[in-house]
Amino acid sequence: MSERDPILLFGDLSGKTALVTGASGGLGLHFARLLARYGVAVTLAARRKAALDGACAEIADAGGEAQGVALDVTDARSVREALEGRSFDILVNNAGVSGAARAADLSGNEWDQVLDTNLKGVFLVAQAAARRMRASGRGGAIVNIASILGHRVAGGVSAYAASKAGVIQLTKALALEWARDGIRVNALCPGYIETDINRDFFASEPGQQLIRRIPQRRLGRPEELDGALLLLASQAGSYITGSTIEVDGGHLVSSL
């Protein structure tokens, strides 16, 4: 059996280390649990470390390895302190905020909050992690969680769409600069994925209307991102860098 055999495809993840930002709930917690199931020692990061205790205990109970760390991705000092003395093979840059408001009503502070979290935050954590990946001599894999709104637009999400478009372009720029250090940088662009936070909205009539515009006529489930995340994080994706993978039920190819 060659090491490229699909059965062994994600086997190299076992024994690796990963940092997942925004991991107290939603997709971040899902990604942390997923990586732990594949034998990755995961560090879950959130602004309040206490919010991670339950998740870390649950991962440990299931036989995984997990620890929590306090990290505000918008704050360079917090990023420095959170990564102090730590080094990771995999970074999942997942922390993000949506900030829905019509452009005419959007305040400067709201704009800053979305851009600082979704774009500057991705840069700060990627930079800190990449410096350590380079120093370790082992390289690594960075997966930035962007969005299909980095490719197309909708009403009321100008700051979010601009930030996610920025993440996609930043991903390519970092991939170019860090390729020779053995660091791969890719973006995962989810479409609309059902999580606790948006479940009520998607049950409403406006939510149902939105679902009718998705070619597959349904929302995605968090586990439907697993294949793309594992591909980008593992040696199965060893020649993939500077790429984006869209997982959206065909939303980006919906008819204009």
Interface residues with ligand NAD (CB under 6 A) are 21-22, 24-28, 46-47, 71-74, 94-97, 117, 121, 145, 147, 190, 192-193, 195, 197
Name which of 77 and 180 has its Cβ closer to ligand NAD.
77
Q: Are strands 65-70 and 183-190 parallel, antiparallel or unpaired?
A: unpaired
In DSSP terms, 145 is beta-bridged to: 188
Active-site annotation holds for 160? yes
| Minimal distance, residue 108 CB to ligand NAD, in Å | 17
| Minimal distance, residue 56 CB to ligand NAD, in Å | 14
| Minimal distance, residue 6 CB to ligand NAD, in Å | 27
Name which of 190 and 237 has its Cβ closer to ligand NAD.
190
Catalogue the long-range contacts made by 171-175 (C-beta closer than 8 Å, 24 or more residues apart): 171/144, 171/146, 171/242, 171/244, 172/242, 174/126, 174/130, 174/142, 175/241, 175/242, 175/243
- DSSP assignment, residue 89? S
CA distance 195 to 191: 12
Sign of CA dihedral 212, 193, 109, 125: negative
Name which of 71 and 130 has its Cβ closer to ligand NAD.
71
| Minimal distance, residue 75 CB to ligand NAD, in Å | 7
CA distance 94 to 14: 21
Provide the token pair at 90: 């995999």
* Cβ contact 127:54 at 8 Å: no
| Minimal distance, residue 39 CB to ligand NAD, in Å | 23
CA distance 248 to 218: 10
CA distance 197 to 219: 14
The catalytic residue positions are 160
